[in-house]
Structure 1
Amino acid sequence: MAPYKAQRHGAIVQVNFDPWPGAHGAEFGHLPDNITVLEGDSVILRCKIDEEVTHKAWLNRSNILFTGTDKWSLDKRVSLVNSNSSDFSIQIDKVQVADEGPYTCTFQANNMPRIAYVYLIVQVPARIVNISRDVSVNEGENVNLFCLAVGRPEPTVTWKDQKYGLVSDGEFLDITEIKRQQGEDYECITNNGVAPPDTRKVKVTVNYPPMITDVKNMPAQLGKTAILRCEAMAVPTASFEWYRDDRRPVENDNTLRIKNEKTRSLLLFTNVTDKHFGNYTCFASNRLGASNASMLLFQRLMPTLPLPLCLLTLVLAIPRPGAVYGRGIAVHAGMSVGVWLALFMCLLLKV
């Protein structure tokens, strides 16, 4: 048998093969050539004839498709392309997996049977046919995902995550005692080299109780603005409450406002007064648990003059006995009223 030639023209794969000279029925046991076509494509099986023929036929296994120009097959997808002295060809449209198998071209020439046959292989691109739904679990639980795929040849299946890449080979992905950091999209990829890989994702949500992460004591000045912040990471998202040191709930008023955001709560003071100073407790909770943290809003004092510098200023302010200042005025020994006043202010600033 001469080697076949496979050529793709759009959606048509054309196959040429020659009969075996001097072949006879016993030679049906010869291994056939393999012709590969994608599911859904069309294929032409072409049988070249180089001598006078009296009878000819195409068969699929033991089923007769054509005898000469007479169609025996009831399949509308199978048609006769050429039937002349040099070419006897059939076409199969929209090839299906069931079409896979041996095809035989046989004819009678010079009272001798001539036979040529080929094995048609139908390839199917890998595709995912069933996959786990998005799942929500509590931290510490086990997670079992599956991804089922079909294709010809048999496809491979791999799981990947967005952080580390390859997670597992095979249709099943098992995560033991899942951590909150593992909550993300997991991608199933199946491939058999026939077409681009088929991919789908499963979203895994890991639930955990709130954990407050940002707590700071804040200084504030009277009449100014101030902010206390409470940040908490949690799934589901935490709800927030604020309490004063005597466990009274904090409520909005014209000088105080609570602003809740997705992962944090802000206590906004628009005009700080003495009544605002004190200890505040942030309480964050969801259905899995709660967390709390306390922070202090305290008064910021204005900076004072250090005592050594204050005393140095006072010493410089004491006039030397007998010193003469402007207009010839002499200063007598002892401290003036101004010096006493400077000493009083120095001590007062240190109180």
Structure 2
Amino acid sequence: MQAGRKSCWRQLQASFFRLLCLLPTGFPVRSVDMQRATDNITIRQGDTAIIRCYVDDKISKVAWLNRSNIIFAGQEKWSLDPRVDLITKGQLEYSLRIQKVDVFDEGSYTCSIQTKQQPKTSQVYLIVQVPANIYKVSEDITVNEGSNVTLSCLASGRPDPMITWRLLNPSAEPLDGEEYLDIVDIMRNQAGRYECKASNDVATPDVKYVNVVVNCKLSNTQGINIQILGTTTVLMIANVTEEDYGNYTCVASNRLGAQSASLFLYRPGTGRDISGSPCVSQSLWLLLASFACLLFKC
């Protein structure tokens, strides 16, 4: 019987506070003391939000509501959320604290006060921001020179993050692209490490990388392929034949000069390196001759 009376009393209280705090759409935001405007509160996901409400000693009833749901009625907590509590300093403050804020906490919060004269309200809108997060990015790829390439970088956040791309060559200039970066007729100088950055000024930008290897075209040469990744050039010879043995030279040049490196390919079991020691003999179906061609910086 007593439990039923308590339940009935809480329902009556709920009806009272809902009627007390009904505000028409567009009602101006005011503080309880009617002296200064209350701005929206912007908080980052995971942080603690404190929604201030100041009162005086003439009040008879006070409550916090969110979307017409009672959070606190006086000192009695109606919300079941353990993250929510009150901050009180004597009879002068009746503020709401929400720990580990999440996106579902966003919305309008109303501090309602009943005095002997008339009800007063303070309404604040809580805005929750979420740091940018890249949740999907293209995997490293190897393509042939002249191919069309599309790199993807998908990110989430509140507000929506801005996505930018860079090729991390010496200039590292921004590229035209957002979620998708289209490279038409890719050239060997477009090989390298691509950086995708998502930012929305909520926290440190999220950054991911994609490595693009470009197989270069060689005219009148079968079984030979060149791959370029950044400043490294790799010469690949498939199905080595008698004609493939000999000297190979890699040359790198720019407007400041040129540099070269050479390697002699011997027949297995017959060749010697420059120090005079026998070369390793083995059955090869693929020769990988790698030159670290370090280009001059322009």
TM-score, normalising length: structure 2: 0.65
User: Which residue is equivalent to 2:54?
Assistant: 48
* Pair 1:35-2:27 in alignment: no
Q: Which amino acid aligns with 1:186?
A: Y
Return the index of the structure with the highest Cα Rg. 1
* Pair 1:110-2:116 in alignment: yes
Please, what is the CA RMSD of the aligned residues? Answer: 3.5
Q: Is the 8 A contact 2:21 2:110 kept in 1?
A: no
* Pair 1:238-2:236 in alignment: yes
- Superposed structure 1 runs of 4+ greater than 2 Å apart: 23-33, 208-212, 239-243, 257-270
Indicate the percent of aligned positions where both proteins have the same amino acid.
41
Q: Deviations over 1:289-328 (max 9, x none)?
A: xxxxxxxxxxxxxxxxxxxxxxxxxxxxxxxxxxxxxxxx
Q: Which amino acid aligns with 2:59?
A: V
CA distance 1:24–1:191, change in 2 (3 Å): closer
CA distance 1:263–1:53, change in 2 (3 Å): farther
SS at match of 2:59: coil
TM-score, normalising length: structure 1: 0.56
SS at match of 1:190: strand
Q: Is the 8 A contact 1:51 1:109 kept in 2?
A: no
User: Which residue is equivalent to 2:263?
Assistant: 264
User: Which residue is equivalent to 2:142?
Assistant: 136
SS at match of 1:47: coil
* CA displacement at 1:207 relative to structure 2: 1.7
Which residue of 68, 74, 77 corresponds with 1:68? Answer: 74
CA distance 1:263–1:93, change in 2 (3 Å): farther
Within-5 A mapping of 1:120-159: 120-159=126-165
* CA displacement at 1:264 relative to structure 2: 3.4
Q: Greater RCO between the two (CA within 8 Å, min separation 6)?
A: 2
* Pair 1:177-2:185 in alignment: yes
SS at match of 1:48: coil
SS at match of 2:189: helix
* CA displacement at 1:80 relative to structure 2: 1.7
Number of residue pairs the alignment of both structures matches: 222
Query: Which structure 2 residue ranges, 5 or more long, are not aligned?
Result: 1-19, 30-38, 228-233, 251-260, 274-284, 288-298
2: distance between equivalents of 1:162 and 1:189? 12
SS at match of 1:29: coil
* CA displacement at 1:234 relative to structure 2: 1.5
Query: Which structure 1 residue ranges, 5 or more long, are not aligned?
Result: 1-22, 213-231, 251-256, 271-284, 288-351
1: distance between equivalents of 2:90 and 2:262? 80
